[in-house]
Structure formats: structure tokens, C-alpha cells
A and B are shown apart, each in its own frame.
Chain A
Amino acid sequence: MEYTMNEFDVAVIGAGHAGVEAAVAAAKLGVKTILFTLTLDGIANLPCNPSIGGTAKGHLVREIDALGGVMGIAADANTLQSRMLNLGKGPAVHSLRAQIDRTAYHGWIKRMLEQQSNLWIRQAEITAIETKNGRISAVVTRLGARYPVKTAIIASGTYLNGEIHVGEVSYPGGPDGVAPATGLRESLEQNGIYLRRFKTGTPSRVHRRSIDFSQLEEQPGDPEVVPFSFTTEIPPENKVSCHIAYTNPETHNIIRNNLDRSPIYSGRIHAIGPRYCPSIEDKIVRFSDKDRHQCFVEPMGMDTDEMYLQGLSSSLPEDVQLAFLHSIKGFEHLEIMRNAYAIEYDCCDPLDLRPTLEFRQVKGLFGAGQFNGTSGYEEAAAQGLIAGINAALQVEGKAPFTLDRSTSYIGTLIDDLVTKGCSDPYRMMTSRSEFRLLLRQDNADERLTPMGYKLGLISEERYQLFLKKMEEIRLEKERVMKTSVAPSAELNGLLVSRGTTPLNSGTKLADLIRRPQLGYAELAPFDPERPVLDRAVCEQVEIQLKYEGYIQKQMHEVEELKRLESQKIPADLPYDHIDGLRLEAREKLKRVQPENVGQASRISGVNPADISALLIYLTAQKQKG
């Protein structure tokens, strides 16, 4: 029997990284929000690696933080070890990654959610949605509780009809022993939303005492840790080290000899797995010339001896897992605590979504995270934030909030999803952004904090601090552009030692900073008037000057993008009646339903002549009035 519960403005289905950001953003924006989770003990779980950030993902975390999201602050509060990756390869690809205490992270976020006003947390499985006139009207739990809602966000991760595969054995299940969610699929299909099957996997967790660390390489954290969040005043400390182990030809032989017992190679799994996250058996089959593969041994937390084996994801049978692990130097006596597995799950086709992440088929229904075909905690959190913001804005009758590609990796991620779709779980990479010299992790605040403030997700106090930082950057840039440096033996000595031409006459300090071979910091002895400034301020001055030419070039490309994006396409454009569109372009445009000409131009199969035809049609319509 169904019974009706209290009404909510926003229902968030799933409390993983997407669900958490969505719920907090909506609640902070002042609308009545309820967060459903299969189990309260699974809130903000890290079911795969105990780390947050990395290349492009670290950028996403910084952007989430700059908009007023949760992940950066939570990661800083629960960091075990932190490293800035890619130093020396250029500021656009510097990437922060932190090892995270898994249970502490879960506990911290759960507590934060409990303290959030406008937010109700409920352990319940949503098995159906109800719609009225093409709009979401209620969500229903397995127990029959009917919650009337104005909007809902599905963030079901890998739980929806999850199926676990280990060797010859398959059974319904979600990650970490939690039962899967069922039921929602039928309800969505009744509303014209058809789901697909994707697959991912995770390696085993093993006992610390069974590893011979003397046989492994140690990987310590950075001597000086940089936090994710703008608001973190005291950077976290390194508490642990990671270690590196290597597979060997014997490991590979064991795996090769047992491929027939793999559910993927024997053909039992048909779902598409992520290209960037291959299992160890994939690596050995596809790159048979490599005689070793790395494995990072990562601690799961301070209060546990569980260790995560990054790089050894597998769906081979448990006995084979144990056998190949034992062949690795340092792992001879390894004790598995949780075995590796592959998991298949339901996800939507993101081409059904608008850039707000709302489904075109059902008004007020949004999707976020792995349910949208992505992979990764950070990708999920980024979408959750945008979906949460837009659900709240819709409830309040305000204009939607979207980010274009030139503003952020978040915008790039969502644009890729809703414009190109994805044929395997989507992972963010720096090479996916054509504007990556602008979208650095070091300037996420400059790009997004004013937007977060305008939305109401950034506090006045934080905004004032942000403005102060911007002003300091401006003043210091101005100063170094005015300050002259005279040639001297010491200075020329430094210049020559760096392989750059010595000075004959005086030059501006800014021109020295512009040289790729020189840094802002090392010029301090030749800059007696230099004020004491925050590390982050000096960093901006240096990057903005050094990469000025490249930044300007990309800004020019941004203008080109904005020009096309500013030409909106009405929702119900009759593509069948537009002259000059080729058949392929017509079909693609009808499928994607782009919001503007810029988005249309990025659809594969739509060429410049089609865009011209579209522009001419739109202009002609305008002339007709």
C-alpha cells in the first residue's frame, strides 16, 4: 500500500559524490531538499581508490570548491598524503591528488549533511518516479512511501541493477557488499528514458601485515602540501606513504593461462568498460610487449590495515587473483580482505540531457554522476553540483545555470556528455579541453568564484578574501611591469646559468619573469621593493606574465566560441524543414537538440555548411519576426 509523506522541492536519489554535492547545493540555495540513500553507512563512500584528484580531476575539485561545493574541503579535512603531479610540465597540467582516509571521509560528510539546514537525509530505496503532464511529481520508496517532489536528481552511481562478476560467478549487487537498487529502470522507461549497461571494476583490498614493504619502492607525499580548497588555511599534513610494486612475466603467465575463466574474455559481460581504466587482464592482452605493470599500494585509512592495490583491477576468479598476486615481489604472502570484481550497472544516454543535466523527456528530472555515463568521484561531484544548483533554481523559477567550455572543466565535461555522448565511461583528461591553458587548477577561483557568489553558494567573507587576492595580483603585476632592473654581475650570472641571454641594459622586471627559464621567486634578490605576498598571489603573477601570449591567443578563441554560443536555438526547431541540412546532420541535430549554434557546431557529423544553413534559417526567422 502506498502512503504519502511530506512534500519536498528537491529529491536526490543516491548519496555518493554526485548526490552529496547536489543535496548540499540545493539546500544551501534555500530549497527543501531530501537525500535518499540505500544505506546511511554508504554516504560519500570511496568504493574504488582511496584518493581524490589527479590530472584534470584535481582541476575539477578546485572548480567545485570555487563554486562553493563540498569535495575540496572534505578532501583537505581527511587527507592522508598529498602530491602535486606534473610539476615541471607546465601550470596547465599541474594536478593535485590526495590519498584520503575512506571511513573518515564518509563520517565527515555524513556529519556535515546532518548539520545542513533545509536538508533531510533518509535511508530508503527509490523504486519509482511519478510524473504528471511531462513533469516529475513524486518519488516512491520500496516500502511504498510516496514523496511529492517538484524536482528529482538521479545519482545512482553503479548501484542501479548492479551485477557483480568474479570469475565464473555473477550475482546482483552494488559495491562494498550493498544490495543493488532495482525498480527505477521500469519507471524511467515508462517515461521514455531508456538505460544502457556500462561496466567498471576495482582491485582487491589486502592486509597491510601481509606485504613485504622492504621489496617495494616508497612514494612519500610532497614536502610542502597545497590544499584543494580556497578556505583551507592550514594545509593538511602527510601521514602515510604509498608504495609501488611491479608485476612480472610469471604474473602475466598466470593471468594469460586463466583468461578463459574471466567473465569478459569468456563473453559473459557485454557491457562497455572504461578505456582509461583497464583491468590487469586487459593490460596484459592489449599490451603484451610490456614485461611489467605498476601497482600502487595505497592505505585505506588511519584506523584500518586495509590497503588498496591500484593498477590490479580484475574480474578473474578469486583463486586466480590470489595466485597472480602471490607472484609479485613483496606480495608473496598477500592476504586478500576484499577481492577484486567487475560490476555492470544501468546508466542513461547523456544525449537525453540538457546542459543543466535535466532530462528532455521529463521536466524537473535530472541525472548526475556515473548514472550519466561518466566515471570517477570528481566527475560525479561536478555534475551533482550543477544538477543540484539547477534543480533549486528551477524550483525558485529562476534562470538556469550552465557553464560553457571556456569557463571550466566542469563545463567541458557536461558539454562533451550532452553534445557528443559517450560510448564508454567518460573520464576527464586535460587533453579534452581546447582551452586548457586558461582552465588551470591554480585559477579556478578567478574563473568561478564570482559565479558561486552570485548564486549564493559563496559566503560574503570568502568573497571579500577572494577580491583581496585578485587586487593583490593586479597590483603586483602592475608593479613588476613598472619596476626596472639594471644589469649586474650577479643577475647576469643567474641568467647565463639558466641558459638565457644576459642583460646589456636595464629591463623591466616583468620581462625577466616572462622568460621561460626564470621564475618569479628567484628574482627576489634583484627586486628590493618586493612586497610580502601569499604564495598563490606570486604564482598568478608569474603564470599570467609568462604565458601571456598563449593566454591571449586562447582568449581570442574563447570570443569565437562565445559568438557562436550566444546564438540560441529555440527548443522546437523544425530541423526537417530547414533547407540545406544534410540528412546525417538533420538526424544528429534532432537527437542532440543543441541549445545554441556553438553546441551544434561541435556535434560530430554536423559540418560548417550545415551550420551555415542553420544560421541562415535562424536569421531568416528573426527577419520574419
Chain B
Amino acid sequence: MAEKTIAAISTPNAVGGISVIRISGPDAIAAADKVFRPVSGKMLQEHKGYTAAYGTVFDGDEPVDDVVATVFRAPKSYTGEDVVEISCHGGLYVTRRVLMALLKNGVLLAGPGEFTKRAFLNGKLSLTEAEAVADLIQAGGEQSLKSARSAMKGSLYHTISSMKDRLLTVSGHIAAFLDYPEEEIDPVESDEIHTVLQDVTGELSGLLSRFDQGKMIREGIETVILGKPNVGKSTLMNLLAGERKSIVTDIPGTTRDVVEGTVMLDGIVLRLADTAGIRETGDVVEQAGVSLALERLETAQLVLAVFDSSSPLSEEDRMLIEKLRDLPVVAVCNKSDLQQQLDIAELRGFFPHLVEISARDHTGVEALSSAVLDLLSLHDAEASSAMLANLRQFSCAQRAFDLLQETLQTLEMGYTLDAIDVALESAISALLELTGERVSDAVVDQVFSHFCVGK
């Protein structure tokens, strides 16, 4: 069966030791090869079924994670098709980036229950399992309908509609020009197509790159507060949360597990986790808290690293600085109300985003929010601007983007209008998947509503 090649995260959507991304379909192995660089240099294409390779997943030129890729060859796989399973480190963020790297290389996001459906259709599951699959797909169908319906509202809808309208105007013009050669229709100029295609491609690319920001704004930013014991992490948390969440005492090691809290900082939601202070400790309970804190780092989108202004950098501070290398960190120098002992300039060398606050006196919160927005480049991301809401929308938009690029290429290479029009229609069709319309009807309607054609 020449099905499309699909991928999805097939482990539960939570932090675990290892996450698995499953790719299934005729191009599964080729697609995996596009993002996976094996240590051995041996492409997955050259691997037999039931074998694994160690290597790195890249998103473009950027390494995402070290992973193990396991190859299954049809029909000996869960779905009965060619399958690659990529096992990566368990963080949600990393797992999602691996999946997105695949979506950027022509793989489609699997629908709910789609792997299981394929398994069943390929005779890999028994009849008794069929009904469960049907229910799953039905539920998924309702869900994606709901999601399409929700996409019909708000600024994303307006953005997509505007793109769609401009593309349909071009496509309708081409269709009228091609189907009614004897009517007085202005010739389609390639500049006209080019401008629209480039505008829309640019906007789509913006939408795609804002996907992570969008997710952050909607779901909140996973934020970890870290620092050696008793620098005032819990005070900071309480300051931000406006309530006493963590137990604040002067005894180092008071916070032993991760305390969750959600705060609004300048319109952006931070999902805060206050953690146990990081230090070498003999206390078993406290030690568990410390390792939990470090684990949190893997999924964190923002780290608030708290230092004590009133004392110079300690060994524990330096240990922490080492651990935070290359992470999205805002250094928070607390206790600015006390005599300054900390070498701020040195610390700024490690962390360019640095603010001085006094959690006790409630000063410096504005500087902190500004630093956070700076760091995450969220300054220009107003809550009202269009955002892709989920991976399904991302997948559609990515496909539309790829197909528009192909259309641009066709145009730039000097191909005739018929080829350009067909390429453009597939791009519109991918975009319309976001709103559930059909392209051929849309183009025909466009022709008859905008052009005076016919004998």
C-alpha cells in the first residue's frame, strides 16, 4: 500500500527517561536518513530490519539530540510498513524538536490512532481490536474537527484566510486566464505571482518560527528557579506568585521537592518550579530534591538562576554556572538591598541576561520581566498575533510552506503557467486543510465570482 509517510511521538506526552518518535510509511527510512547522522556513517537505508544505529538528530545544521534509531522493514513492523523508531532523551522539548525536524522534511504528522489503523488494515491486529481502533479514530476525528473549528476563529484564522484569499486570487486568475483564453482577461504576469508567493511564504515562515513562542504564550513557559541554598529562590517565587507557596526560612535546604506555581509576568505565563537548592548533600530527601531539580533543567524553557549579591561567587555557584552553560538563563542577583560583594561583571560574562533585585523589598521585578522577554525574543510577540496552536496545524503550515517553495522554484525556472498552477493548487490545498475546505471547488468558485467569462 502506497500510503503517505507519517510520524508522531509514540510515548506518553510527559517527561520520562526515554521518548520514542515513530515514523511509518514507504519513505520512513529515507526521511529518517534526512535528519539522522549516524556515528558509524552507515545510512539507515543500508540497515536491515531489526537493527539499530546510534547518532545525532539534526534540525538543519543544528544538532538536537543524541539518539538511537531502530529500523523495521515491511512487513515486519508494528504497522506492517517500513518503520523507524527514534529513541531520544525524554525531555518534551527535545522530543518535539526531533518530530518537527521530520515534519520539515516532508513527513506528515500522524493522526490519532493512525499507526494502529495501519496496523489493522495491514493485518497486524486481530478483529477484536478493530472496534477500539474505530473508536480511537472517531474520537480523533471529532477532536481534529473541533481543532479545525477553533482554527476558524481568532487571529490565526484571519492570517490563514488572508493568505488563502491572496493565493486563490492568483490561482483563480490563472485558471480564468487558462480556461477562457478568448475572454478579455488580463494576462497573468509572473511578477504578480512572484510577489504574492513571496509574501505568503514569508508570512508562513514567520508563523512556523513563532510556533514555539506561541506554545509558550498559550501553555506558559516552563520555568525553573535554581540556585544554591538560601539565596532567596522561594522568596523570589513567592514574590512572583504573590502568595506563600514555598516555605521560606533561613535554614538552608527548606525546599525539598519541586513546588509548582503559575504567574503572569508582563502578559506572559511562567510555569514556575521552585527547586531544592543545589549543593552536595548527605540528606537523602534533599538529595532526591536536587536530582529532581537538575532533571527539570532538561525540559525547562527558562531558567532563573538566583545568586546572592551580598556574597562572592562560591564553589556551589560555580558548579551551578557550569551546569547552566548554553541554557536559556536569566541570572537574578538577589539581595540587592544588602552590601554588594558579588562580582556582577564576571557573572554577566556567563549570563548576558542579568538583573539585580531585592525579593524582600519587591524591587527589580520589572527589570526581570524585561530580561525574560528579551531572552525569549517575546517582545514582539503580542498575545493577539497569529499563532499555530498545535502540531497538526504546524504540520499543515509546514507542508503548505514546502509546496509554495516548490511553486516559486517552478516559476523562477521559467516553467509554463500550467505547471505553476498545479503546484500552486497543491500548496493552497495544504493550507486549506487547516480550515477543511476543498481546493478545486474553491478555484472554480473564484473564477465564476470574479471573472466575466463564458459565451
A616/B133 in contact, CB under 8 A = yes
Bound Cα distance A24, B184 (Å): 39
Contact of A55 among B141, B180, B419, B438 (CB under 8 A): B180
The chain B residue with its CB closest to the CB of A89 is B417
Task: List the A side residues contacting B438 at CB < 8 Å.
Answer: 604
Which residues from B are CB-within-8-Å of A56? 179
- One of A203, A283, A616 near B117 (C-beta < 8 A): A616
Residue of A nearest to B188 (CB): A89
Taking the closest CB of chain B, its distance from the CB of A286, in whole angstroms, is 7
Report whether B134 and A90 are in contact in the complex, using a CB–CB cutoff of 8 Å.
Answer: no
- Among B141, B177, B423, B443, the residue within 8 A (CB) of A609 is B141
A113 within 8 A of B: no
Nearest CB in chain A: distance from B114 CB, A: 8
Q: Is A72 an interface residue (CB 8 A)?
A: no
**CB-CB contacts below 8 Å: A404-455 with B:** 429-432, 434, 436-437
Is B62's beta carbon under 8 Å from chain A? no
Contact yes or no, B418 A432, CB < 8 A: no
- Which stretch (A73-81, A270-278, A505-513) binds chain B? A270-278
Q: Which residues of A contact B419 (CB under 8 A)?
A: 90, 92, 437, 547, 550
**Residue B137 CB within 8 A of the other chain:** yes
How distant is the Cα of A613 from the Cα of B111 in the complex, in angstroms? 13
A293-B413 Cα distance, complex, nearest whole Å = 36
B440, CB-defined interface residue at 8 Å: yes
Question: Is there a chain A Cβ closer than 8 Å to B189's Cβ?
Answer: no
B-contacting 9-mer, from A155-163, A533-541, A617-625 = A617-625
Contact flags (1/0) for A496-520 with B, using CB distance below 8 Å?
Answer: 0001100000000000000011000
Residues on B with beta carbons closer than 8 Å to the beta carbon of A88: 416
Interface residues of B, dominant DSSP: helix
Contact of B345 with A by CB under 8 A: no
Given the complex, which residues of B lie within 8 Å of A431, measured CB to CB? 175, 178-179, 421, 425, 440, 443-444, 447
Give the B interface residue count (CB, 8 A). Answer: 58
Let me know if A609 and B133 touch, CB within 8 A.
Answer: no
Decide yes or no whether B130 CB sits under 8 A from chain A.
yes
Residue of A nearest to B131 (CB): A579
Chain A residues whose C-beta falls within 8 Å of the C-beta of B182 in the assembled complex: 85, 294, 296
Chain A residues with CB under 8 A of B144: 609
Chain B residues, CB < 8 A from A287 = 452
Min CB distance, B442 to chain A, in Å?
Answer: 10
Is B448 interfacial (CB-CB < 8 Å)? yes
The answer to whether B455 and A49 touch across the interface, beta carbons within 8 angstroms, is yes
- What residues on B are CB-neighbors of A86 within 8 Å? 178, 181
B127–A620 touching, CB < 8 Å:
yes
Residues of B within 8 A of A579 (CB): 131, 134-135, 138
Are A55 and B178 in contact, CB atoms less than 8 angstroms apart? yes
Residue A260 at the chain B interface, CB threshold 8 Å: no
Contacts of B417 in A (CB 8 A): 89-90, 93
Q: Which residues of B contact A274 (CB under 8 A)?
A: 454
- B284: chain A residues at CB < 8 Å are none
Q: Is B418 in contact with A89, judged by CB distance below 8 angstroms?
A: yes
Residue of A nearest to B410 (CB): A550
CB B117 to nearest CB in A, in angstroms, measures: 6
What is the bound-complex CA distance between A437 and B438, given in angstroms?
Answer: 20
Cβ A550 vs Cβ B422 within 8 A: yes
B2:A92 contact, CB within 8 angstroms: no
Q: Is the CB of B181 within 8 A of A85?
A: yes
A155 to B164, CA, bound (A): 41
CA distance A129 to B360 in the complex (A): 96
Name A90's contact: one of B418, B447, B453 (CB within 8 Å).
B418
**Does B183 reach chain A (CB closer than 8 Å)?**
yes
Chain A contacts for B126, CB-based, 8 A: 623
> Does A37 interact with chain B (Cβ within 8 Å)?
no
A107 at the interface (CB under 8 A from B): no
A430 to B4, CA, bound (A): 27
Whether, in the assembled complex, A574 has its beta carbon less than 8 Å from a beta carbon of chain B, the answer is no
Question: In this assembly, does A91 line the interface, its C-beta being within 8 Å of a C-beta of chain B?
Answer: yes
Separation in Å of the A255 CB from the closest CB of chain B?
14
Q: Complex: how many Å from CA A48 to CA B45?
A: 61
Contact with B along A559-575 (1 / 0, CB 8 A): 11001000000000000
Contact A90 B416 (CB under 8 A): yes
| Residues of chain B from 124 to 176 with CB closer than 8 A to chain A in the complex | 126-127, 130-131, 133-135, 137-138, 140-142, 144-145, 175
Decide: A290 and B452 in contact? CB cutoff 8 A: yes
Interface string of B333-364 (1 = CB under 8 A from A): 00000000000000000000000000000000
Question: Which of A85, A93, A616 has a CB less than 8 Å from the CB of B120?
Answer: A616
Which chain B positions have C-beta within 8 A of A294?
A: 182-184
Contact of B454 among A276, A436, A580, A616 (CB under 8 A): A276
Given contacts A89-B178, A437-B419, A616-B117, 10 further A-B contacts (CB under 8 A): A85-B181, A90-B417, A276-B448, A277-B454, A431-B440, A563-B1, A609-B137, A612-B141, A616-B134, A624-B127
* A-B contact list, 24 entries, CB within 8 Å: A48-B455, A49-B455, A89-B178, A90-B415, A93-B179, A95-B181, A430-B179, A431-B179, A431-B443, A431-B444, A432-B440, A437-B418, A516-B416, A550-B410, A560-B4, A580-B135, A607-B145, A609-B141, A612-B117, A613-B138, A615-B117, A615-B121, A616-B130, A620-B127
Shortest Cβ-Cβ A-B pairs, 5 listed: A609-B141, A90-B416, A90-B418, A92-B418, A580-B138
